Structure 1
Amino acid sequence: MLNWRIEALHLKLKYTWKIARNASDEKVNFLVQVTDGTFNGFGEAAPNVRYGETPELLLQQYQVLLAAGLPNVKSMEDLLQLLQEYAPANALRFAVESAYLHYYCQHKGLAVHQMLGQAPPRPQPTCYTVPIMEPGQVQAFITKYQLNRFSSLKVKVNHELATDLVQEVLRVTDRPVVVDGNESWQEPDELLAFLSQLDRERVLFIEQPMPASCAAAYAHLKPLSPFPVIADESVTDAADFALLREQFHGINIKLMKAGGYLNAVRLLQLARQHHLSTMIGCMVETTLGIWSAMQLSQSFDFADLDSFMVLEQEPFGLVHEQEGALYLK
């Protein structure tokens, strides 16, 4: 019988993490461990309120999985059946699946990327995200955190501050920029008016500017946008790729949204089949979650895996950053 445990990770942030729908100064994630007394596997859950995930819900669902027979799992097939029957939140599902897969790989002497059919992890360039702030704070923020070492920056925006904030980032740095709207626009024509003001040479793409429910608006926007439009909130653990292709130029796959390594690989394959560009992203995670993402990252066109650098004290040290690239320990 396997021994499972869960532990809350109380993570203080270096600065207020403000996006269009909320702001936070700390996060509660979870560390899930499975062991047979000799071999161990660990996985991270980073709940996100956008998808109805709270720490309290994940703890309740974890207890349900224990009662349903999680300690008696003897294979990945057993585990996947259990997770299908009891369907926990995607973040918890990823933590449990990845912990077991890491345990299995350790037990069998396999590399995780091998088990997933992926190329070996290599140094991974990542963008760095500038949260929403007053435009007058941008230059000091970029200087304090030495952000010009990154090959690109992502700028979180809301409807109210978007133009001034993006223009200020473009003024104080020569880095190319990704604009992330986190569903803050409602009208495609208003969004197009904003996009028309941006430098076409400096902005790489815009990420999920309108709510995921605005399918018709995205279909209207796609052929008119001066920049590629990338889906984030519109892609969770399942997606209609025929519809996505009509709305977006690419998709952002996050392991916490996908609910597991195996489903993330499936989504990646479907994106390729539908000729969509691919981005691998993250929630606010420790280096355990980022280490996991790096097991897949070589297969993606763009990486946004910077969130462990937002933590005041990162507990695991599994990944380090140097000159804008990520390296495994």
Structure 2
Amino acid sequence: MCCHVISTYRLELKHTWTIARGSADFKEYSFVELSAEGVVGRGEAAHNIRYGESLESIREFLLEARGLFDSANPYEFYELNKKNLALAQGQNAAKASLDMALLDWVTQRLQVPLYALWGLNPAHTPKTSYSIGIDSPQAVYEKVREAEAYPILKIKLGGEQDEEIMRAVREATDRPVRVDANEGWQDRELALERMQWLAGLNVEFVEQPMPAGRLAEVAWLRDHSPLPLVADEDVKTVNDIPALARAYHGINIKIMKSGGLQEALRMIHVARALGLKIMLGCMIESSLGITAAAHLSPLVDWADLDGNLLIKNDPYRGVKVEGGRLLLPHTPGLGVERIQSAKIE
């Protein structure tokens, strides 16, 4: 099996993307291919500076990892991924891209869709939320109106205009809303005050209300909050989950945070054993990464797999959304199709 590191591709966002930590107009990522016997498996590394990753560090890891696949048996994908995860600390987006490409290759060779490898029913996918980044209240109002095709919205908060933004949302729609503060509320009293106010606005839950690592304060918040709390930045891999069960009602699993699909599957099982609800989330990603994650979605309670919907030059086609529900491809592998006009070089 041969591992090729593909040069970067720039995903252009439809709107400036702003959360509590900062803004972006584009995301530039590395893509990988694993090839053997005339079959090509593809993966995407959607890195995030929040977790100590950069375009350069991802590429360095991918170049170092090439040797793992030179004489490997790809059908031993569990053992291969253990070596992938152990190769270095961090760089989980790079690890995720290799695991993704490996499982894409294996299921193409087996002539089954990826969800079938896990025995999942593609009819049991959840509806995905559609995310609205932080902006002026008027701009948020307009974006909410533009997103009428999506029955569930995810609203980014964590700034000075939280109340004005939510008023604009409720002027535009009465659809269910999920709120993501992205660590933006710095103390528990402020967070509780915001959540008490949000509870009257048809909000389903609040994601990562406070900075990661402050579990005692979040546990206090859970005891007093009228809304469920979902961990995001506080959880990356399966090792993080046991400590979160006292502080949160649920966790947001992202393929790029966890190190891949196989690690995400382990996280789902552990979270279930601890009685936690599960959201399957994403970074800003192309349809390659989003489709890969979507194959796990029949196992979760909530989906926030909309990163590909926020870009205007997607280099792949894959999972579709109809009435908000994720429609998985039924073709072998991930089921993605490269758009030929997209130059990934």
Which TM-score applies when normalising by structure 1? 0.93
C-alpha displacement at 1:70, in angstroms?
3.1
- For 1:77 and 1:240, locate their aligned partners in 2 and report how far apart those are by CA, in whole Å: 21
Tell me which amino acid in the other structure corresponds to 2:136.
Answer: E
- For 1:126 and 1:77, locate their aligned partners in 2 and report how far apart those are by CA, in whole Å: 29
Tell me which amino acid in the other structure corresponds to 2:104.
Answer: H
Which residue of structure 1 lines up, in the alignment, with residue 285 of structure 2?
A: 285
Which residue of structure 2 lines up, in the alignment, with residue 191 of structure 1?
A: 191
When the two structures are aligned, how many residues end up with a matched partner?
326
The 5 Å alignment of 1:245-264 reads 245-264=245-264
Which residue of structure 2 lines up, in the alignment, with residue 110 of structure 1?
A: 112
The structure-2 alpha-carbon separation of the partners of 1:110 and 1:311, relative to structure 1 and needing over 3 Å to count, comes to same
Asked whether 1:161 is paired with 2:161, we answer yes
Which residue of structure 2 lines up, in the alignment, with residue 138 of structure 1?
A: 140
1:74-107 superposed Cα distances (whole Å, 9 cap, x missing partner): 2325522431441361111010011011111212
Tell me which amino acid in the other structure corresponds to 2:323.
Answer: E
- For 2:200 and 2:159, locate their aligned partners in 1 and report how far apart those are by CA, in whole Å: 20
The structure-2 alpha-carbon separation of the partners of 1:124 and 1:219, relative to structure 1 and needing over 3 Å to count, comes to closer
Which residue of structure 2 lines up, in the alignment, with residue 71 of structure 1?
A: 70
3-state SS of 1:13 partner: strand
Which residue of structure 1 lines up, in the alignment, with residue 229 of structure 2?
A: 229
Tell me which amino acid in the other structure corresponds to 1:72.
Answer: S
> Is contact 1:287-1:317 (8 Å) kept?
yes
3-state SS of 2:192 partner: helix
- For 2:244 and 2:253, locate their aligned partners in 1 and report how far apart those are by CA, in whole Å: 13
The structure-2 alpha-carbon separation of the partners of 1:307 and 1:223, relative to structure 1 and needing over 3 Å to count, comes to same
Tell me which amino acid in the other structure corresponds to 2:69.
Answer: L
1:30-63 superposed Cα distances (whole Å, 9 cap, x missing partner): 2211111411111111001110111111011111
3-state SS of 1:126 partner: coil
> Is contact 1:245-1:276 (8 Å) kept?
yes
- For 1:54 and 1:204, locate their aligned partners in 2 and report how far apart those are by CA, in whole Å: 33
- For 1:11 and 1:192, locate their aligned partners in 2 and report how far apart those are by CA, in whole Å: 36
2:98 to 93, 96, 99: 96
> Is contact 2:3-2:32 (8 Å) kept?
no
The 5 Å alignment of 1:210-225 reads 210-225=210-225
C-alpha displacement at 1:310, in angstroms?
0.8
> Is contact 2:238-2:270 (8 Å) kept?
no
> Is contact 2:30-2:59 (8 Å) kept?
no
C-alpha displacement at 1:290, in angstroms?
1.3
Larger displacement relative to structure 2 (238-247 or 176-185) = 238-247
- For 1:184 and 1:123, locate their aligned partners in 2 and report how far apart those are by CA, in whole Å: 30
- For 2:294 and 2:78, locate their aligned partners in 1 and report how far apart those are by CA, in whole Å: 24
> Is contact 1:14-1:310 (8 Å) kept?
yes
- For 2:103 and 2:11, locate their aligned partners in 1 and report how far apart those are by CA, in whole Å: 25
- For 2:265 and 2:68, locate their aligned partners in 1 and report how far apart those are by CA, in whole Å: 26
The structure-2 alpha-carbon separation of the partners of 1:240 and 1:138, relative to structure 1 and needing over 3 Å to count, comes to closer
Tell me which amino acid in the other structure corresponds to 2:161.
Answer: L
C-alpha displacement at 1:318, in angstroms?
1.1
Which residue of structure 2 lines up, in the alignment, with residue 125 of structure 1?
A: 127
Which residue of structure 2 lines up, in the alignment, with residue 209 of structure 1?
A: 209
Tell me which amino acid in the other structure corresponds to 1:71.
Answer: D
Which residue of structure 2 lines up, in the alignment, with residue 270 of structure 1?
A: 270
- For 2:240 and 2:3, locate their aligned partners in 1 and report how far apart those are by CA, in whole Å: 37
Tell me which amino acid in the other structure corresponds to 1:313.
Answer: N
> Is contact 2:16-2:24 (8 Å) kept?
yes
> Is contact 2:170-2:201 (8 Å) kept?
no
Tell me which amino acid in the other structure corresponds to 1:86.
Answer: L
The percentage of counterpart residues that share the same residue type is 34
Which residue of structure 2 lines up, in the alignment, with residue 45 of structure 1?
A: 45
> Is contact 1:280-1:293 (8 Å) kept?
yes
Tell me which amino acid in the other structure corresponds to 2:84.
Answer: L
Tell me which amino acid in the other structure corresponds to 1:5.
Answer: V
- For 1:55 and 1:324, locate their aligned partners in 2 and report how far apart those are by CA, in whole Å: 32
- For 2:85 and 2:159, locate their aligned partners in 1 and report how far apart those are by CA, in whole Å: 38
C-alpha displacement at 1:240, in angstroms?
3.9
Tell me which amino acid in the other structure corresponds to 1:80.
Answer: N
Which residue of structure 1 lines up, in the alignment, with residue 334 of structure 2?
A: none
Asked whether 1:80 is paired with 2:81, we answer yes
- For 1:78 and 1:278, locate their aligned partners in 2 and report how far apart those are by CA, in whole Å: 26
- For 1:257 and 1:216, locate their aligned partners in 2 and report how far apart those are by CA, in whole Å: 23
Larger displacement relative to structure 2 (175-184 or 115-124) = 115-124
Tell me which amino acid in the other structure corresponds to 1:70.
Answer: F
Tell me, which stretches of 5 or more residues in structure 1 are unaligned?
none
> Is contact 1:4-1:71 (8 Å) kept?
no
- For 2:115 and 2:62, locate their aligned partners in 1 and report how far apart those are by CA, in whole Å: 26
- For 1:279 and 1:235, locate their aligned partners in 2 and report how far apart those are by CA, in whole Å: 12
